[in-house]
Amino acid sequence: MEWKKYIFILLPSFFTSLLTYAQIEIVTPQNQGIAWGTEVHLRIKNCPKESFETRINGKKLIARWKKSPYKNEWFTTVSLQPERNYHVVVYGTCGKLNSSSAVSYFKTTRQNPIEIAEKVADDFISKRKAKKLAWNWGPGIFLHGLIQLTRDSQKSEDYVSYLKTYFKNKRGWRLPKINFADRCTSGLVGYELYEYFKEIDGLKGAGAVYRYLAHSKRNSIGALNHLGTHFYSHFYPQSIWLDSLMVAGIIGLKAALHENDEVLLDWVLSQPEIYANVLQDSFTGLFRHSYRVKRKKQVPSSRTFWLRGNGWVASSLIDMIELTPVTHPKRESLIQIFTNLSYGIAGAQMEMGVWDTVMNRPGYAYTEGSGSALSAYALAKGVRLGILPSHFFDSAYKAYQVLTSRLIKTKNGYQVPDTSWHTHPSGPLGYKMVPRLKDVDYGVGAYLLMATEISKTVSKNPIN
């Protein structure tokens, strides 16, 4: 009965905790981070009502705060001077019994996005030796982003050396059997390494990917089973996933063009229509996650759209459009599918600049970085290639600003946060339960793709 004497101590603190909220937190800009441009996006959380005061460098901020779609969150945009150091302090009652405050120190910058991306790449590389990276989709996306950065970077020699080391250690028994989609992504980088820098180290692995794409059995709708002939394919129904369109799309297109395989080329360029026919929503233009072939069933069955998957599709489609011969009969279809998807993506973007991981339900789960970066990449490139109207770049640019202000400063550069972990087809709750992590290979790769593409426009036409 000894516990009874403690209950009178514990109960008051328990009920007090129900009346309080967590400490105010500044979401953007990240403490010790950067804000790109002069339009700075401020976002705070853990405050149920606008009962707080904000000061920047000691001066009270007069700004119109807006309620975020997320509970107890607020956001606004302020104009600041470039290349200056700032500190923002937010304090108030925010429903707590005692007041709280938060502070963030940051710098506004107009530094070339390439230079910022280099710091992101350098931080990741400092902790991952090239020979230790797996031959899998996550590292493959990072390397794909890295090689695009390498084309415009002053550090290209260092990055090419890193890429060559990766492929030199993926030969013989170190190269896994290519038997499903996830093991194809690094092949894209092998072709790119040769195309951009005439280095042959990646061609052996890329050739294995080519043979898989060219000779694997197609399912009844003319696509590849996402799990191929992998062990898992014996337990999971035959299906296509959004992820697979990158494999059957831009990776397959690179392979077909390099190997001069017209049969594979025609098959690859037929894939977007196949995917759109069974997965693209006619109203929003967005794609569901997967389609079970034998049961003719979409997953999820509800109108739920996963952000990163739609980012994969959009980025793959615009890359395919860039490479598809103008005279090819499928090119117009690619443009139409991409345009419809782009309107859906832009329409789902939250006013604060990024997207929810369940993109058609703002505020339902959480903001997600990798899908937001892929979406921004696709929209920005669509504008640059003349496929999309110029106002789509505004959406991409705002996403870039917000995602850059979320970068975490380290001794070696910057880390990329807010990347959702591996995600399987499910309903909205399933997507919501996937945890977010920082410093994830494919999240870093997505940021590098976005930053490299944004730089192509802002370097020529400076914005704020």
Query: Tell me, what DSSP letter sits at residue 232?
Result: G
List, for residues 297-310, the tens digit of each pLDDT value.
Answer: 999 999 999 999 99
Q: What share of the chain is helix, strand, coil (3-state, %, to 5)?
A: 50, 15, 35
Tell how far CA 54 is from the center of its chain. Answer: 31
pLDDT at 17 over 70: no
Give me 90's structure tokens: 């937010």
All domains in the chain, ordered by first residue: 20-109 (2.60.40.10), 113-458 (1.50.10.10)
Binned at pLDDT 50, 70 and 90, residue 262 comes out as: very high
Q: Cβ distance 353 to 402 under 8 Å?
A: yes
209 pLDDT exceeds 90?
A: yes
In this structure, the number of other CB atoms found within 10 A of the CB of residue 406 comes to: 25
Q: From CA 366, how far away is CA 359, in angstroms rounded?
A: 10
Q: Residue 15 has what pLDDT?
A: 40
Question: Measuring CA to CA, which residue among 10, 70, 12 is closest to residue 45?
Answer: 70
> What's the mean pLDDT when you consider all of the chain?
92
CA dist., res. 206 & res. 188, Å (int): 7
pLDDT in tens, 333-371: 999 999 999 999 999 999 999 999 999 999 999 999 999
CA nearest 248: which of 232, 237, 264, 230? Answer: 264
* 119-166 pLDDT, tens digit each: 999 999 999 999 999 999 999 999 999 999 999 999 999 999 999 999
